[in-house]
Protein backbone atom coordinates (compact mmCIF):
# COMPACT_ATOMS: atom_id res chain seq x y z
CA UNK A 1 0.00 0.00 0.00
CA UNK A 2 1.31 3.40 -0.96
CA UNK A 3 1.48 5.73 2.02
CA UNK A 4 0.03 9.04 0.85
CA UNK A 5 1.60 11.12 3.62
CA UNK A 6 5.08 9.76 2.85
CA UNK A 7 4.50 10.20 -0.89
CA UNK A 8 3.50 13.86 -0.37
CA UNK A 9 6.62 14.55 1.71
CA UNK A 10 8.92 12.78 -0.71
CA UNK A 11 7.52 14.45 -3.81
CA UNK A 12 7.51 17.88 -2.16
CA UNK A 13 11.13 17.67 -1.05
CA UNK A 14 12.37 16.08 -4.28
CA UNK A 15 10.62 18.80 -6.35
CA UNK A 16 12.23 21.43 -4.14
CA UNK A 17 15.62 19.74 -4.62
CA UNK A 18 15.10 19.77 -8.40
CA UNK A 19 14.29 23.50 -8.37
CA UNK A 20 17.38 24.18 -6.24
CA UNK A 21 19.56 22.12 -8.60
CA UNK A 22 18.45 24.19 -11.59
CA UNK A 23 19.26 27.49 -9.89
CA UNK A 24 22.57 26.13 -8.50
CA UNK A 25 23.64 25.19 -12.02
CA UNK A 26 22.61 28.58 -13.41
CA UNK A 27 23.85 30.94 -10.67
CA UNK A 28 27.56 30.48 -9.98
CA UNK A 29 27.54 32.74 -6.92
CA UNK A 30 24.89 30.60 -5.17
CA UNK A 31 26.21 27.16 -6.10
CA UNK A 32 28.03 26.36 -2.84
CA UNK A 33 25.13 27.51 -0.68
CA UNK A 34 22.46 25.73 -2.71
CA UNK A 35 24.41 22.47 -2.88
CA UNK A 36 24.62 22.51 0.94
CA UNK A 37 20.86 23.13 1.18
CA UNK A 38 20.19 20.43 -1.42
CA UNK A 39 22.06 17.89 0.71
CA UNK A 40 20.27 19.03 3.86
CA UNK A 41 16.89 18.54 2.16
CA UNK A 42 17.89 15.02 1.14
CA UNK A 43 18.72 14.17 4.76
CA UNK A 44 15.44 15.73 5.91
CA UNK A 45 13.52 13.60 3.41
CA UNK A 46 15.24 10.39 4.55
CA UNK A 47 14.63 11.15 8.23
CA UNK A 48 10.96 12.06 7.67
CA UNK A 49 10.33 8.94 5.58
CA UNK A 50 11.87 6.81 8.32
CA UNK A 51 9.76 8.48 11.03
CA UNK A 52 6.56 8.06 9.00
CA UNK A 53 7.27 4.36 8.47
CA UNK A 54 8.02 3.86 12.18
CA UNK A 55 4.87 5.80 13.13
CA UNK A 56 2.75 3.62 10.83
CA UNK A 57 4.32 0.45 12.28
CA UNK A 58 3.86 1.69 15.86
CA UNK A 59 7.58 1.45 16.62
CA UNK A 60 8.54 5.06 17.25
CA UNK A 61 11.78 5.82 19.05
CA UNK A 62 11.41 7.56 22.38
CA UNK A 63 11.17 11.33 22.14
CA UNK A 64 14.17 13.25 23.39
CA UNK A 65 13.79 14.84 26.81
CA UNK A 66 13.17 18.59 26.66
CA UNK A 67 16.20 20.64 27.62
CA UNK A 68 14.28 23.87 28.11
CA UNK A 69 15.44 25.72 31.21
CA UNK A 70 18.42 23.42 31.63
CA UNK A 71 21.77 25.04 32.39
CA UNK A 72 24.31 24.11 29.74
CA UNK A 73 27.91 25.02 29.13
CA UNK A 74 28.37 27.76 26.56
CA UNK A 75 29.32 26.30 23.21
CA UNK A 76 30.78 28.21 20.31
CA UNK A 77 29.33 27.08 17.01
CA UNK A 78 31.07 27.41 13.72
CA UNK A 79 29.50 29.95 11.41
CA UNK A 80 27.04 28.37 9.02
CA UNK A 81 26.95 29.23 5.34
CA UNK A 82 23.16 28.83 5.38
CA UNK A 83 21.38 32.16 5.97
CA UNK A 84 19.03 32.52 8.93
CA UNK A 85 16.74 35.19 7.51
CA UNK A 86 13.15 33.93 7.13
CA UNK A 87 12.09 33.06 3.56
CA UNK A 88 15.60 33.48 2.14
CA UNK A 89 15.13 30.41 -0.06
CA UNK A 90 12.17 32.05 -1.80
CA UNK A 91 14.41 34.95 -2.77
CA UNK A 92 17.22 32.74 -4.06
CA UNK A 93 14.99 30.13 -5.74
CA UNK A 94 11.72 31.60 -6.97
CA UNK A 95 10.45 28.16 -7.95
CA UNK A 96 10.40 27.28 -4.23
CA UNK A 97 7.14 29.22 -3.87
CA UNK A 98 5.17 26.20 -5.10
CA UNK A 99 6.90 24.01 -2.50
CA UNK A 100 5.97 26.54 0.17
CA UNK A 101 2.31 26.42 -0.87
CA UNK A 102 2.32 22.61 -0.90
CA UNK A 103 3.97 22.46 2.53
CA UNK A 104 1.48 24.98 3.97
CA UNK A 105 -1.34 22.82 2.62
CA UNK A 106 0.27 19.70 4.08
CA UNK A 107 0.56 21.40 7.49
CA UNK A 108 -3.24 21.74 7.59
CA UNK A 109 -3.90 18.09 6.69
CA UNK A 110 -5.58 16.20 9.56
CA UNK A 111 -3.32 13.16 9.16
CA UNK A 112 -0.24 15.37 9.23
CA UNK A 113 -1.41 17.17 12.38
CA UNK A 114 -1.94 13.77 14.00
CA UNK A 115 1.55 12.71 12.87
CA UNK A 116 3.13 15.85 14.38
CA UNK A 117 1.28 15.32 17.64
CA UNK A 118 2.57 11.75 17.88
CA UNK A 119 6.09 12.44 16.61
CA UNK A 120 7.64 15.63 18.03
CA UNK A 121 10.93 14.77 16.30
CA UNK A 122 9.26 15.59 12.96
CA UNK A 123 8.68 19.16 14.12
CA UNK A 124 12.38 19.55 14.86
CA UNK A 125 13.19 18.24 11.38
CA UNK A 126 10.67 20.49 9.62
CA UNK A 127 11.34 23.71 11.55
CA UNK A 128 14.44 24.73 9.51
CA UNK A 129 12.59 24.04 6.26
CA UNK A 130 9.63 26.15 7.38
CA UNK A 131 12.01 28.97 8.28
CA UNK A 132 13.78 28.74 4.89
CA UNK A 133 10.41 28.98 3.15
CA UNK A 134 9.01 31.67 5.45
CA UNK A 135 6.27 29.56 7.00
CA UNK A 136 5.85 30.76 10.54
CA UNK A 137 2.16 30.77 11.36
CA UNK A 138 1.64 27.08 12.04
CA UNK A 139 2.71 25.43 15.29
CA UNK A 140 4.97 22.46 14.64
CA UNK A 141 4.48 20.95 18.06
CA UNK A 142 1.38 20.44 20.13
CA UNK A 143 1.02 22.98 22.91
CA UNK A 144 3.59 25.38 21.46
CA UNK A 145 2.82 28.73 20.03
CA UNK A 146 5.26 29.81 17.34
CA UNK A 147 7.22 33.00 17.67
CA UNK A 148 6.53 35.64 15.09
CA UNK A 149 8.97 35.13 12.24
CA UNK A 150 8.96 38.73 11.14
CA UNK A 151 6.97 41.73 12.27
CA UNK A 152 6.60 45.15 10.75
CA UNK A 153 8.56 47.55 12.95
CA UNK A 154 6.45 50.06 14.84
CA UNK A 155 7.14 53.69 14.08
CA UNK A 156 7.37 55.29 17.51
CA UNK A 157 7.64 59.07 17.51
CA UNK A 158 11.10 60.24 18.41
CA UNK A 159 9.70 63.14 20.43
CA UNK A 160 6.30 63.88 21.84
CA UNK A 161 4.05 66.54 20.38
CA UNK A 162 5.76 69.92 20.44
CA UNK A 163 4.63 72.25 23.22
CA UNK A 164 5.53 75.91 23.51
CA UNK A 165 7.41 77.96 20.92
CA UNK A 166 8.12 76.13 17.67
CA UNK A 167 9.86 77.23 14.50
CA UNK A 168 7.16 77.38 11.83
CA UNK A 169 7.00 78.09 8.11
CA UNK A 170 9.35 80.79 6.75
CA UNK A 171 11.27 80.84 10.02
CA UNK A 172 8.45 82.31 12.07
CA UNK A 173 8.10 81.36 15.71
CA UNK A 174 4.69 79.88 16.57
CA UNK A 175 3.25 79.10 20.00
CA UNK A 176 1.65 75.65 20.05
What confidence score (pLDDT) does residue 17 get? 93
pLDDT, block means (10 residues), the chain with 176 residues: 73 92 91 92 92 88 72 77 83 90 89 88 90 72 55 60 67 70
What confidence score (pLDDT) does residue 136 get? 79
Non-local CB neighbours of 70 within 8 Å, separated by 6+ positions:
none
What confidence score (pLDDT) does residue 6 get? 79
Backbone angles phi, psi at 10, to 5 degrees: -60, -45
What confidence score (pLDDT) does residue 139 get? 45
What confidence score (pLDDT) does residue 150 get? 60
Non-local CB neighbours of 92 within 8 Å, separated by 6+ positions:
23, 27, 30, 33, 34
HSE-CB at 81 with a 13 A cutoff on CA atoms is: 11
CA 171 to chain centre: 53
Cα–Cα dist 146/140, whole Å:
8
Amino acid sequence: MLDLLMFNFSSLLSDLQAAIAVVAARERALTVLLVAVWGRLGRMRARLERLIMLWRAGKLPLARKSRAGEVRAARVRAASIIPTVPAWLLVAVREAASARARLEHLLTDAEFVEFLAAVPQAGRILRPLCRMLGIGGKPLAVGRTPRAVWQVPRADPVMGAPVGLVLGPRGRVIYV
